[in-house]
Structure 1
Amino acid sequence: MKTRLQKSVFSGLMIGLTAGMLSANAYASDEVINASFHPYNDETPSHEGLSVGMNIDQSNVDQFKDVIDPAFLTFIENGWTSMTVGETTSFDLHPAYVGATHDSLGQVSLGEQVGEINGWKAGRPFPQAPDANDPRAGEKLAWNYKYGYNWGDSAAIAPFYWKYRDMDSGKLERTIKFNFHFLNYKGRVIQEPTPEITPNPSDLFRAIYVQVLDPADVRNTQLLIHRAADDLKRDNSWLYLGFQRRVRRLATGQVTDAFLGSDLMIEDFEGYNGRISDMDWTYKGTRYMLMPFYNHNDMNLDTETHQDDDGYQVIAFNGQGGCFPDITWQLRKVYEVESVPVDDSHPLSKRVHYMDAQTFTIPRTVSYDRKGSMWKTFTIGQAHPDYHLPKNKGTGVSIDDSFSMIDVQASHCTTGQFKGQVDPELSKPQMFNVQHMRATGS
């Protein structure tokens, strides 16, 4: 039998060991979180010969092939555009989102089949560094994107200008003025109510509402997308056509059609606007790449068109056909992820996404047709919220601020100029239903 002294010593040892283990686990957790959300704290990316302020064009692009994706490399080699290098800066996400990630660390897991996830409530589901030996690493990165902080809990792009251009002649064929609205029903960390909006009878995760403002022939065309919390359930989508004055449900295949005659399909929105279960995901590696991140207020802005009453100016475009945003590019940590449609009738054979490791936005995507040839290339410029509209400062949202979708086979592009606003008053829950579409259209 143990004596009282032996019991006391034994208890003390156990308490010490337990405390030590808890301390070690807490340290390990902090390391994971810091590495995921603050990748530039300990090391600034660099590449031989690359310096802030330099211009990469036809004359010197060969030495930077390793840090430029293949599609954009071709554009520079062709003399269609160039890159101005900006300073690598941290795009810190909101502390509440980081905190939610910390609180759920180790509690989230994948289900048996693609599209199933367990234990997620809010934050980044898989902040651990991807493992090349993990066959489902790409899927985990896809979930990090889906449950990312892109536009926060809700936001609006109001207004949003799309321009259709002939890339060879530079002719501006069409300009469409939209408002886009985004709302998360679950995983909310800042805007009340948190962590979710109730009641939520359809068990939605997210909704997107789009309204066309101009020109007259498509004015008041509206799009509504409901994404279920259960990824295995198909999205419900509706389209309101102003000239018909009626709402119709979109068939599944229509999300891969050209949206309003543009170079984008609905599935392209934000880099990828579909279900995790619609794709097979493969992690292809981690690398440093030049990515379209910048401070909006420091860029060359469009002073000739689209200036709002408050003085806000959108990003200017230049290059071949006016298809390239006039911005700076940062050398950043990137996860390369390939997505292959599970549906053989899909118009694409694959997409290659270049996910930003800090924000989990998708600023660069290259799409390939069914024959495996490069078809389209998507750039989404990311603006720091603290150097943008005053209302965006401190939100921790990496602001989608410019886009260029180039159809390399058709020599055509669609460009986007944004006024992104992280403002819950612009995207209220009552906007995201079919009744609102009818009321707005009448």
Structure 2
Amino acid sequence: MHNNNRFRLTALTLALAAGTAMAAENDPVIQNSFYPYAKDTPSHAGLSAGTVINKGNVAQFKDIVDPAFYGFIEKGWVELKVGETTSFDLHPNYVKATQDGAGQVKLGAKPGEIQGWVAGRPFPQEPDASDPRAGEKLAWNYKYGYNWGDSAAIYPFYWKYRDMDSGKVERTIKFNFHFLNFTGRVNQEPKPAITPNPSDLFRGIYVNVLEPHDVRNTQLLIHRAQDDLKRDNSWLYLGFQRRVRRLATGQVTDAFLGSDLMIEDFEGYNGRISDMEWSYKGTRYMLMPFYNHNELKLDAETHKDSDGYQVVAFGGQGGCFPEITWQLRKVYEVEAAPVDGSHPLSKRVHYMDAQTFTVPRTISYDRKGALWKTFTIGQAHPDHHLPANKGSGVSIDDSFSMIDVQAMHCTSGQFKGMVDPKLSPPEMFSVQHMRATGN
């Protein structure tokens, strides 16, 4: 009798899951949000897979290249290679969580307040230009996006500091980066949240420097609270001092380890919703850095891993540009202006991918409003990457380039990203772990 009841319960669960999946398939809002290329793919006159955009023909494609990258091509710093537009389907569990929460999520009275969110994409509806808080809703979609899934690691991660005029590599730093969502979990056990969670955390980021010797074992830990109005808690462990110190709020906008990145730049934007004023500037079709890693011409000479994995190669002016292909994709243009008047930036312009809600292109402007930095984060399809990533539904951060156009300097990033929960256990995201690892 007990076995029969268990069978009926299992059958009922499967039927409910199938019903929810079918509802998601038939929901036009969900379809439009997660499968924008299901019916047709975007096109532009003269553009096809295999097209190479250079300074000789870039004017023809001005409408589909962001203004900063257009300037790079126009100067002859880089050529852009076009690939076929492909769908980066997120994991079905994330889509299902979005369907389950449809209509329940609302913004609070002020930026940083949200109600009713459990998991999935909070606002799958198409942004409305007449909605003054449309940009804020898109920012929430990014924050609660499926970037790196429930947990993952970049293991290892190489940063190179480059002089853009000479191409000289001034410094190479080897890291491990780890990411963990404490809540809103849809795929990795435990779901939907890790317990106990006494600090009511949403997300943790942990960084450990492996090389070179002078900064070896420098560690960074970031705790982001579920309540966006609470400030992040961040700690830094300096190996040569052998102690953990708490980071002051302003330090997240300093150059991290002498690079061209702030801690706030990580993943496109690594801060609170409430720290910015968000403005939706429109929906566009643009060339974005999405590709199949295994189909690229990779860097066979440096950083070849023991398992044969090869990182993305770099070229162009100063060696500052990843040698990847770009797809014509649906993009939301969102402007983020710091609330704090002492912030070193006047604004960032984010180009959010409408399907994945990753932020593959960001342009940053200094306090005077002049172009300062541009950030490219290459997105690799998980099914054409490491075997461990296949079927994960995670758009894999796979290369980056942060260019300081004023200083003619860049920091490039070469990744081995893995969606593997064993690499980022919850106990890793603690001050105690930093101390134990440091000693």
Deviates most, 29-38 or 192-201? 29-38
2: CA distance, partners of 1:242 / 1:258: 19
1:359 equivalent to 2:356? Answer: yes
1:156 equivalent to 2:153? Answer: yes
Counterpart in 2 of 1:381? Answer: 378
2: CA distance, partners of 1:381 / 1:287: 19
SS at 1:191's partner residue? Answer: coil
Counterpart in 1 of 2:80? Answer: 83
SS at 1:227's partner residue? Answer: strand
Paired residues for 1:34-433 under 5 Å: 34-433=31-430
Segments ≥4 residues shifted beyond 2 Å: 26-29
CA contact (8 A) 2:352 2:361 kept: yes
CA contact (8 A) 2:155 2:415 kept: yes
Post-superposition shift, 1:29? 7.0
Residues 284-320 of structure 1 show CA distances to partners (whole Å, capped at 9, x for unaligned) of: 0000000000000001100000001000000000000
Counterpart in 2 of 1:33? Answer: 30
CA contact (8 A) 2:24 2:30 kept: no
Residues 331-371 of structure 1 show CA distances to partners (whole Å, capped at 9, x for unaligned) of: 00000000000000000000000000000000000000000
CA contact (8 A) 1:29 1:105 kept: no
1:436 equivalent to 2:433? Answer: yes
2: CA distance, partners of 1:172 / 1:206: 33
Gaps of 5+ in 2: 1-22
Post-superposition shift, 1:222? 0.1
SS at 1:380's partner residue? Answer: strand
TM-score, length-normalised on structure 2?
0.95
Residues 11-60 of structure 1 show CA distances to partners (whole Å, capped at 9, x for unaligned) of: xxxxxxxxxxxxxxx69971000000000011210001111101000110
SS at 2:27's partner residue? Answer: helix
Residues 149-169 of structure 1 show CA distances to partners (whole Å, capped at 9, x for unaligned) of: 000000000000000000000
Counterpart in 2 of 1:10? Answer: none
CA contact (8 A) 1:164 1:174 kept: yes
Amino acid at match of 2:294: N
1: CA distance, partners of 2:192 / 2:297: 39
Amino acid at match of 1:213: L
Counterpart in 2 of 1:23? Answer: none
CA contact (8 A) 2:25 2:31 kept: no
SS at 2:61's partner residue? Answer: helix
1: CA distance, partners of 2:97 / 2:366: 39
Residues 166-193 of structure 1 show CA distances to partners (whole Å, capped at 9, x for unaligned) of: 0000000000000000000000000000
2: CA distance, partners of 1:429 / 1:403: 27
1: CA distance, partners of 2:264 / 2:215: 21
TM-score, length-normalised on structure 1?
0.94
Question: Percent of aligned pairs with the same residue?
Answer: 81
CA contact (8 A) 1:161 1:178 kept: yes
Number of residue pairs aligned between Structure 1 and Structure 2: 419
2: CA distance, partners of 1:385 / 1:423: 13
RMSD: 1.2
Gaps of 5+ in 1: 1-25
1: CA distance, partners of 2:117 / 2:407: 42
Post-superposition shift, 1:109? 0.3
SS at 2:49's partner residue? Answer: coil
Amino acid at match of 1:136: R
Amino acid at match of 1:173: E
CA contact (8 A) 1:29 1:102 kept: no
SS at 2:84's partner residue? Answer: coil
1: CA distance, partners of 2:111 / 2:224: 16
